[in-house]
Amino acid sequence: MSEAVAEVLEDDPVLETDFAKEMVRQMRAVDTYGTYDNWPVGKILEPFVLTKEKKREIPVVGDPDEITMSRVKAFYNAISAMIEKECGLMAVPMLNLTHEGFGRALITVGKLVVMDKTLRDVHRFGYPTLSKMKDEADKLLSVALEIIGQHPKVAGM
């Protein structure tokens, strides 16, 4: 990939949201060597921003590497943590991916499936902006909380 101007500005208001803070916490959790410890928040979240230009540089067919897969896991782990924070029940993310980057992401609360998302082309996982990523997470979070509200007994099992 060619060097480009940073896509995430340090004064981006999205960086102050609970979701962005949780994303940073999740990314630091998977950083076994402590590389992210002294990095600013924007630099940690920058790999999630995949502009059209960056996406064009990634081949259409490809296998996701471990770093990309850890970003996908961090995204769904952050949504699970936000669900737990909102409803007080343990949310468990489950990711099933083939080596080719296809699969499914599920989040369960008790015996209730609150999120089911089909994943394709995981090697190109990212969003045009941090704001779009947060919007997607907010949408998944609100649907999950609505499902929990409709079926509290199953969620509490």
Instruction: Give domain status of residue 4, yes or no.
Output: no
Largest Cα–Cα distance of the chain, in whole Å? 52
**Whole-angstrom distance, CA of residue 66 vs CA of residue 151:** 36
The SS3 assignment for 64 reads coil
**Which residue has better confidence, 62 or 137?**
137
Domain assignment of residue 1, yes or no: no
Residues 6 or more apart in contact with residue 91 via CB below 8 angstroms: 79, 80, 81, 83, 84, 107, 108, 109, 114, 144
Q: Residue 60 maps to which CATH number?
A: 1.10.3100.20
Answer yes or no: is 35 within a domain: yes
Closest among 142, 63, 135, 74 to 103, alpha carbons compared: 63
For residue 20, is it within any domain? yes
Whether 3 is in a domain gets the answer: no
Please provide the average confidence, as pLDDT, over all residues in the chain. Answer: 88
Tell me whether residue 63 is in a domain.
yes
Nearest to 109 by CA among 96, 90, 95, 88: 90
Angle at 57 between CA 55 and CA 60, to 5 degrees: 70
Per-residue pLDDT of 67-77, as tens digits, reads 888 999 999 99
Split at pLDDT 50, 70, 90, the class of 9 is low
Q: What pTM was computed for the model?
A: 0.87
How many separate domains does the chain show? Answer: 1
The verdict on residue 151 lying in a domain is: yes
Range of the domain at 88: 13-155
Q: What is the pLDDT of residues 11-54, one digit of tens each?
A: 778 888 899 999 999 999 988 888 888 898 888 999 999 888 88
Asked whether the predicted pLDDT for residue 7 surpasses 70, the reply is no
Q: How many residues does the chain have?
A: 157
